[in-house]
Amino acid sequence: MIDYLKNIFAFEDLRRRFLYTLLMFAIYRLGSHIPIPGVDVLALEDFFKSLQGTLFSLYDIFSGGNLSRMTVFALGVMPYISASIMMQLLTVAIPELQRLAKEEGDYGRYKINEYTKYLTLFVAFIQSIGVAFWLQNQTSPRGFPVVPDAGFLFIFVAVLTLVAGTMFLVWMGERITEKGIGNGMSLLIFAGIVASFPNAVIGLIDRLKSGDLTPFTVAGAIVMVLLVIIGIVYIQEAERRIPVQYPRRVVGRQEYRGGSTYLPIKINPAGVIPIIFAQSLLIIPSSVLTFIQHPIAQAIYDAFNPTAIFYNFLYVMLIVFFTYFYTAVMINPVEVADNLRKGGAFVPGVRPGLETQKFLETVINRLVFVGALFLSVVAIIPLFISLQLNVPFYFGGTTALIVVGVALDTLKQVEANLITKKYKGYVRKRR
């Protein structure tokens, strides 16, 4: 890590990008301590302590503690993630959007991004209304109202603040992607999760001192986390290399020598996106059901508890679906096979064209199955193990997947930038 930082600060452009990203993180953390107007902070803190161990605790981790503190960033970037999912599904279903995404180039991507922002605004507006109405009807365990002066004015100010906070985070994410290092939205989620780690460690130490946890239990939790991290790194970096052969050919007077290379396909091409998408979708029904006071709604809400079988079944199904869906968006076997055929390349033992396409589809489906299975196991198994060990479930595999996955992707982008800078410097010296 020290070598990475030295290399980053050795180049002005990378140094500027790195410092810009840190500045955005600082602004994000500053906003994470500004509560929305009209909320009794002490009553709110008391109220959320009674919700520890529920689904809200998990969502609070993803928001970096903004939900429990009900800050201006309480909704986080989840409305944008939800809007992105809807937009990608609509792009597949609506031919006009599909044509815009595939054939219009930069303009098409700009329009799709614009539509996603409008959809984000709508989702954030609906969610903020639900949060505001729910919040003003809550009281702390001691009987103090979370919102002392409930009414229309509070609803209006809270909705306006929460929507503005979400759209500001979307703007920050885009700026980080454009002027910083890494994917802005993923890094904001990463920053939110990492920000909760110090308090989690302090809480674990306090429980160890008080005797609620034994040293053996803590050691078991640490071993579990290390094993999960090793597994994530191994799977995220693993790839299947399909050999590709280029024959010797002559085009006009130019002769091209043949050679061999390979087509790399990762075991998990979708990365951590399926986990983030699955979590963002599971937030919606539980958030809506919170505001419905009915026995049936309460029963369904209980089924969405992170330890419930139904919740974890849905979680696994969504992870599998989004792993296949996002891989299909990223890798198109038809286009790959066609590009190989146009370049005169072929996979040894496989005929160009349709047979190459079928071969690639088979390989990708097998790899994606392993990747989806791995994501599902890592997402749910550590949760049950941590419950058995009686440690807080923020040590689960979901947070580890996102943190490690985003960190690996960001490091790869840094490495790519460093290689480019060093290569350009080498070329200048040669000249």
Would you state the structure tokens that stand for residue 176, as one six-digit string?
């980080």
What is the share, in percent, of the chain residues with pLDDT greater than 70?
Answer: 82
User: What pLDDT, on the 0 to 100 scale, is given for residue 215?
Assistant: 80
Q: What is the pTM of this model?
A: 0.77
Give the closest residue to 277 by CA, choosing from 62, 51, 56: 62
Same domain, 94 and 188: yes
- Per the structure, the complete domain to which residue 254 belongs is given by 210-431
Distance in angstroms (rounded) separating the CA atoms of residues 65 and 59: 9
Same domain, 188 and 216: no
User: What pLDDT, on the 0 to 100 scale, is given for residue 290?
Assistant: 61
In sequence order, what are the beta bridge partners of 254?
251
Same domain, 87 and 143: yes
Does position 200 have pLDDT exceeding 90, yes or no? Answer: no
In a domain, 89, yes or no: yes
Same domain, 31 and 139: yes
| Domain count for the chain | 2
Q: Among residues 165, 195, 225, which one ends one of the domains? A: 195
**Count of all residues that appear for the chain in the document:** 431
In a domain, 205, yes or no: no
Phi, psi of 102 (to 5 degrees): -95, -30
Same domain, 231 and 303: yes
Any idea which of 59-68, 106-115, 126-135, 394-403 has the lowest mean pLDDT? 394-403
Distance in angstroms (rounded) separating the CA atoms of residues 84 and 68: 25
262, 241 contact by CB (below 8 A) = yes
User: What pLDDT, on the 0 to 100 scale, is given for residue 195?
Assistant: 79
| 34 Cβ contact list (under 8 Å, min separation 6) | 71, 72
Same domain, 33 and 160: yes
Q: How confident is the model at residue 102 (pLDDT cuts 50, 70, 90)?
A: confident
In a domain, 292, yes or no: yes
Q: How confident is the model at residue 162 (pLDDT cuts 50, 70, 90)?
A: very high
Find which of 12-26, 54-68, 83-97, 403-417 is predicted with most confidence, using mean pLDDT.
12-26
Same domain, 188 and 75: yes
Name the one residue in this structure whose structure tokens are 């071969």. Answer: 359
In a domain, 102, yes or no: yes
Same domain, 149 and 20: yes
3-state secondary structure 107-120: HHHHHHHHHHHHHH
Q: 245-272 pLDDT, tens per residue?
A: 877 665 555 555 667 788 888 888 887 7
Q: Among residues 141, 169, 195, which one ends one of the domains? A: 195
Does position 158 have pLDDT exceeding 70, yes or no? Answer: yes
Distance in angstroms (rounded) separating the CA atoms of residues 81 and 368: 22
What is the share, in percent, of the chain residues with pLDDT greater than 90?
Answer: 6
In a domain, 249, yes or no: yes
Does position 146 have pLDDT exceeding 70, yes or no? Answer: yes
Measured at the CA of 239, the angle between CA 365 and CA 177, to 5 degrees, comes to 95
In a domain, 97, yes or no: yes
Distance in angstroms (rounded) separating the CA atoms of residues 6 and 347: 42
Same domain, 147 and 247: no
Q: Among residues 195, 220, 250, which one ends one of the domains? A: 195
Same domain, 269 and 414: yes
Q: For 190-202, what is the mean pLDDT?
A: 79
Q: How many CB atoms lie within 10 A of CB 113?
A: 12
Does position 168 have pLDDT exceeding 90, yes or no? Answer: yes
Same domain, 179 and 275: no
In a domain, 342, yes or no: yes
Name the one residue in this structure whose structure tokens are 């974890």. Answer: 312
CATH assignment at residue 143 = 1.10.3370.10
